[in-house]
Structure 1
Amino acid sequence: MANWVSLLESYLADKPRKSAVENDREVDIAFLNLLEEEKEEEKKRNESFKKIPRFFFKKPQLENPLYLKLRQEARTRFLHNKSAEVLDKEDLEKLWYLLKNNTSFPDDGSERMNYDQFCQVANKLHPKYRQFFQPSVFLKCDRDEYGRIEIVPFFHYIVRKVNLHQTRIQISLYDSAGYGYLKEKDLENFIFELIPSFAQLSSLQENFYPFYVITAVRKFFFFLDPKKTGRIWIKDMLTSPILAELYELRQENMSPEEAAQNWFSVQYTLRVYDHYLRLDLDRNGMLRKQELTRYSGGLTSIFVDRLFEEYQTFEGEMDYKTFLDFVLAMENKKTTPSLQYFFKILDIYKKGAIDTFVVNLFLRSIIAKLESLEKFGFKVDDIKDEIWDMAKPKCLYAITLDDLISCGVGDTIVSILSDARLFYEYDQRESGIDVDEMEDMFGDKPFQL
């Protein structure tokens, strides 16, 4: 058997040593040459390619382990190369020093620079800064009567762009498929590895990590994957306020009030999980219909029945993930994903619209619940007319999802049709609500954000 190590060493001994950059450039040139050769071969195999470019490329077999390994290695190297191009703390400090020492006249006490100074600073910096010193960037900034831009806002713009690039590279490392999106498992891995680096999560016990990760992931998927495709595009994550809310936990100091309003904080996730455990009376880790109705004393039986019909349950019981979707929908009723969530429940016959029969069905259940609590005098026809006035449907006697979203009060309509407590609060809004009376009727106030 040949000694491959010695053979390789003897072969490399005759070759000049090259830097990593030179090797990468050589690989790129060789790859482009191979692409050109492949194009020429295609033209020989099929004459049509000489006139019409090829627009369909069959994907390779994803189960091929060699292909997957090669693709993963190529992506990792690409992302590491991109990471080296991102400005670090020392780079930003150097930039700030140059900006502060290159202000333009007149000296009026403001820290501003004109385009000449802008170009001079660019010439003193490494090429990796150049993306921030393009003429188009200068023109995007507000300028005074002397054509100068403010240094501080310009520097803040660069810092935000750098943070965005760093975050994109960080997230992309978890993109197992390499197609620009994260699957649920990818996002779970991303958040799981973020936990130790966030100051506000230092008090999180390790045995609660799995439940925390599930809670965090559900918010991303509820709002960024409304069609339930099982994946979230990285570009959508970067522009979403949800990611910004998660990254707030990096702060050293966070007030209890801020933490109580942040879905990703330890306090909030523990509240949600504790509420789930308190609803689970039989302690089997799942929620039955009767247990879920305790979430709010006003939920009607027909609404809960439809909820269990439409959303994933296991042998008629709801798991923690499905409960989290329910909580997110209940606490964010004004948002489009929440209205989509509830419309699926209300649209009993899958017609894409709610007609008068469906509205009557849900309202009669509301009124029956109120009458069982000795509250009378409500008429279905009056409430139904009010709902139609609020929804302003384009098609007479048929409320679509678009109507529910565009009317601006879709959350109120959903509340009236699903929860007797919320309906009663709406009906008594002008006369005033007696808190003690409400608690006597429906029990304690339901879980809220």
Structure 2
Amino acid sequence: ETVIYRIYYYINRSGTGHLTLRELKRGNLIDAMLHCDEEEDINKVLRYFSYEHFYVIYCKFWELDTDHDFLIDKENLIRYGNHALTYRIVDRIFSQVPRKFTSKVEGNMGYEDFVYFILAEEDKSSEPSLEYWFKCIDLDGNGVLTRNEMQFFYEEQLHRMECMAQEPVLFEDILCQMIDMIKPQLVKTDYFTCLTIEISCLQDESYIMLRDLKGSKLSGSVFNILFNLNKFMAFETRDPFLIRQERENPTLTEWDRFAHREYIRLSMEDDVEDASNGSAEVWDESLEAPF
């Protein structure tokens, strides 16, 4: 199941639940399948089929799903990434704006919904992720991120910084930084092609469209600034270790690096549990992992 969810996340861009021939041709699924045939170690097939990637996704879900009913509510998700996300962005996720939940239980996301979330959260350089988070921030759904919308989400970040006794970065300063990072293109025809954009927006450079985000390599950092405090702080400090990792392996995606780090962490935790004579919670073999 996890493999299928990953394939549809990246390739089924129309969100219909059915892969079209055009989507198949534009995607890299065939190449990934050929790679599977040629490669003996499935973990070296990073696109879709890696067991290590599945293990990370499933374990992250299991950690949040404290009662193990295969459902996650808001309070579960707010703990993701050591409470990295804001309540406002979690509310938007559970309003099902970026994607309708497949879960039939109201107020809960299922495993498939979580797979889409974690792929979007941990690799904000991909187009599916940019579209996911753009819908979250675009409160009125008019296809434009305005100053007020960005400020609405950043307010909670600012409050969290103050609570942690960190020097707060004022929104006016952070807005200038985000605009410099994205360099949105102001096109006069926007007024005629998108009637929902007000004239005031066209005269104000403090708005961002989806095409602007897709044209910038720093788009993910903009979203982190707005709702992920841990990643925002990491971006501000410019961790030299992470920068060196990126330079050494430029072909790896943000997701690949995240999954690799998490797999090592989880493996080390498993080794510690084994050494302590299995004092951890007993695995219920009746619950089959949805690989």
TM-score (norm 2): 0.69
Report matched runs for 1:34-433 at 5 Å: 214-251=1-38, 253-254=40-41, 258=44, 261-297=46-82, 298-309=84-95, 310=97, 311-313=99-101, 314-393=105-184, 394=186, 395=202, 396-429=205-238
Q: Is the 8 A contact 1:286 1:320 kept in 2?
A: yes
Give the Cα–Cα distance (whole angstroms) in 1 for the partners of residues 47 and 152 of structure 2: 37
1:11 alignment counterpart: none
Please name the residue that 1:63 is paired with: none
Any stretches of 5+ residues in structure 2 without a counterpart? 187-201, 243-256, 260-291
Instruction: Tell me which residue corresponds to 2:258.
Output: 448
Does the Cα contact within 8 Å between 2:7 and 2:48 map onto a contact in 1? no
The one of the two structures with greater contact order (alpha-carbon pairs below 8 A, sep at least 6) is 2
Aligned CA distance change for structure 1 residues 431 and 222 (closer, same or farther; 3 Å): closer
Deviation at 1:243, TM superposition (A): 3.2
Identity %: 24
The number of residues matched between the two structures is 221
Secondary structure of the equivalent of 1:250?
helix
The 1:402/1:249 distance shift into structure 2, 3 A limit, reads same
Distance 1:368 1:216, change over 3 A: same
Give how far 1:430 is off. 7.5
Tell me the C-alpha RMSD between the 2 structures.
Answer: 2.4
- Are the equivalent residues in 2 in contact too, given 1:287–1:317 (CA < 8 A)? yes
Deviations, residues 371-429 of structure 1 (Å, cap 9, x unaligned): 22221232121111111222222242221111111233211111211200111111122
> What TM-score do you get using the length of structure 1 for normalisation?
0.46
Structure possessing the higher radius of gyration over alpha carbons:
1
Divergent runs of 4+, >4 A: 430-433
- Aligned residue for 1:231, secondary structure, equals coil
- 3-state DSSP class of the match of 1:426? helix
How far has the Cα of 1:326 moved from its partner? 0.9
Q: Counterpart amino acid of 2:213?
A: L
Q: Deviations over 1:256-303 (max 9, x none)?
A: 5x25x4531233213211221111012221001121122212111111
1:64-102 alpha-carbon deviations (Å, 9 max, x no partner): xxxxxxxxxxxxxxxxxxxxxxxxxxxxxxxxxxxxxxx
Bigger fraction of residues in helix: 1
Structure 1 residue 356: deviation in Å? 0.8
Q: Deviations over 1:313-332 (max 9, x none)?
A: 43111111111111221233
Counterpart secondary structure, 1:317: coil
CA contact (8 A) 1:262 1:268 kept: no
Deviation at 1:432, TM superposition (A): 8.9
